[in-house]
Amino acid sequence: MMRPTAKDLAEAAGLSLATVDRVLNDRPNVSAGAVRKVNEAIERIGFFRNPAAVVLARNKLYRFRFVLPSKGDQYLLELLQRVREASQTLKSELTEITVDQIPTDDPHQLSRHLASIEHEAVDGVAVMAPESPQVRDALSRLMLRGIHLVQFLSGQEKLETADFVGVDNFAAGATAGKIIGRFLGKDPGKVMIVAETMVARDSIERRRGFDSIINQQFPGLTNLPSLETYGDERRATAIIRQVLEHNPDIKAAYIMSPESRVPVTAIRQHTDARRIVIVVHERTPFSEEALRNDQIDTIIAQDPGHAVRSAIRIMRARTDEREPIASQEKIRIEVLLKENL
């Protein structure tokens, strides 16, 4: 009836509590036979450590940190909000979460910052930053110091030994392509593609996914070269306008950057008469509103709340030396229409 305790386990294994404790906690000086006996008994009586007792006895705080860009778009704000929420909720669960905002586009500064993170201060770090060899090295060294790393929402080339939280950007691009292709039907036309920069790995993969679908399945459509805004509003508005004027047969636009306000506004200003299909990334107050007002047609999103919680769960599991549950930690590529917002 009652859950078996370690004492029951010791009895079942025919050993003392001390030996059982040694086996359970991988302490030295245990014979192979004892290990076997204990494991057998665990199976036999169905023993589980009471996690509450473990936490209490270890009396340890989980200390996790998010390293995020210092400036960014609305999506970043959403993300920060979710981290704060999670932090609040987890305060009562022995988990302390801090956020460092760093100019992540400066590899020097970022890797210096990463180098300054001590194992004494933190158990796990979730980093969202663009790729660079320096950063990659800094991350590797972080892991060597025994800190559990989560590569958070894209950026770096995947380190094999680190966990990753985020979507498959090739698939995300492909999904955008499929939506645009199907919404346009058989009419031929051109597709405008806007990115903040094509240096980032995310943009490259999205573009590849997008191209692959359009080229294979929608031969009537032609993808224009990617427009890069460099986060500059004036530049963005100008080049979008120019491209729209030179290509009256543009039927759709794919905004790959998480910041969609500037491109969408620019497009809408110059296409009053034409109704072109627009697909953007990430759910933000702006994109949500735009979807509601029929300014855009679809949002391809990854739920930031999910991502944050998933990263935390993974860091927690790693700290406990457990395997994360893969199925639960996969971030879905969400397709949002006005109807399922």
Binding site for a second copy (CB under 8 A): 3, 48-53, 55-56, 61, 85, 89, 91-94, 171-172, 174-175, 177-179, 182-183, 185-186, 209, 213, 297, 303, 305, 309, 325, 327-328, 332-340
Q: Figure out which of the listed residues 39, 40, 44, 57 binds DNA, where binding follows CB under 7 A.
A: 57
Which of a second copy, DNA, none does residue 18 bind (CB under 5 to 8 Å by kind)? DNA
Task: State which of residues 1, 28, 118, 187 lies at the interface with DNA (CB under 7 A).
Answer: 28
Which amino acid is it at 306? H
Burial of 216 from C-beta contacts in 10 A (0-12 / 13-18 / 19+)? exposed
Distance CA 90, CA 84 (A): 10
* Contact region with DNA (CB under 7 A), list: 17-25, 127-135, 153-161, 230-238: 17-25
Nearest distance from residue 37's CB to DNA, in Å?
8
Q: Which of 5, 197, 247, 295 binds DNA (CB under 7 A)?
A: 5
Q: Which residues of 242-281 are buried (b: 16+ CB within 10 A; e: fewer)?
A: ebbeeeeebbbbbbbbbbbbbbbbbbeebeeeeebbbbbb
Which region, judged by CB under 7 A, interacts with DNA, from 41-49, 68-76, 175-183, 311-319?
41-49
Which contiguous run of DSSP H or E holds residue 149? Answer: strand 148-155
Q: Which does 309 bind (CB under 5 to 8 A by kind): a second copy, DNA, none?
A: a second copy
- Residue 18 as a binder of DNA (CB under 7 A): the answer is yes
Number of neighbouring beta carbons within 10 Å of residue 7: 10
Residue 227 is encoded by which pair of tokens? Answer: 């427009």
Which residue, 24 or 198, is less far from DNA as judged by CB?
A: 24
Phi, psi at residue 46, to the nearest 5°? 65, 55
Out of DNA, a second copy, none, what residue 31 binds, judged by CB under 5 to 8 A for its kind, is DNA
CA distances to 78, 260, 281, 309 from 74, in Å: 6, 9, 12, 19
Nearer to a second copy by Cβ, of 171 and 224: the residue is 171
Cα separation, 76 vs 95, whole angstroms: 22
Q: Which does 19 bind (CB under 5 to 8 A by kind): a second copy, DNA, none?
A: DNA
* 120-159 residues near DNA, rule: CB under 7 A: none
